[in-house]
Amino acid sequence: MVLADPMVDDDTLLARIANGDRGAFTLLATRHSARALSVAQRVLNNAAEADEVVQEAWVKVWTKAGQWEAGGSARFSTWLHRVVVNLCIDRRRKQGFEALEDAPDVPDPSPAAGTLIARRQMSDTIAAALAELPERQRVAIALCYYEEMSAAEAGRSLDLSVPAVESLLARARRALRGRLTALGITGVGEDEE
């Protein structure tokens, strides 16, 4: 049965997926794949590997849908992000780290080349500084700043308390500010602490 109603909640979709409803699976995947992929790309810094991780996460959703507790303490999206983050961490541990210089650049069709070059250089500098952070700090930054999760949502995804997430974020901001200041970039994130 294909579901046409996008207002069906995630818990209902998961119950239908547990009964083999492919339409429910398609709707749930359509609803959450973009954010899951964004999280994976931020953590892995590799679009192809991020895509593989998200596909693996959806296989877990399909096979574990019957175990989902509707109305539980976590939302489905939080659980999915946790699965994606854990798969990313597992993948990085197995394969080691890829040098940032080896990551392909994503072409940008925007016409303002000078502005885009300056933004790209700043983005690359920040990405390099982020890549030097410890893994848990990097994941906390990705979830809270790039995916705009609250500290509570990120904490549930990482299985950490809110104060622990806030501590990771504070240490990460200090470390990033120090690295960027050493490169002559000042004023970054000063209003956040």
pLDDT tens by residue, 137-186: 999 998 998 888 999 999 998 999 999 999 999 999 999 898 888 888 77
Residue pair 89/32 in contact (Cβ under 8 Å)? The answer is: no
* Residue that is written with structure tokens 């990771």 in the block: 168
Residue 191 lies in a domain: no
pLDDT tens by residue, 57-92: 999 999 988 888 877 777 888 889 999 999 998 888
Exposure string of 150-182, with b = 16+ CB inside 10 Å and e = fewer, is ebebbbbbbebeeebbbebbeebbebbbebbee
Provide the token pair at 69: 């507790």
Can you give the residue range of the structural domain that contains 122? 112-186
User: What pLDDT, on a 0 to 100 scale, did the predictor assign at position 130?
Assistant: 87
Residue 31 sits in a domain of what CATH number? 1.10.1740.10
Given a cut of 70, whether residue 9 has pLDDT beyond it is yes
Residue 105 lies in a domain: no
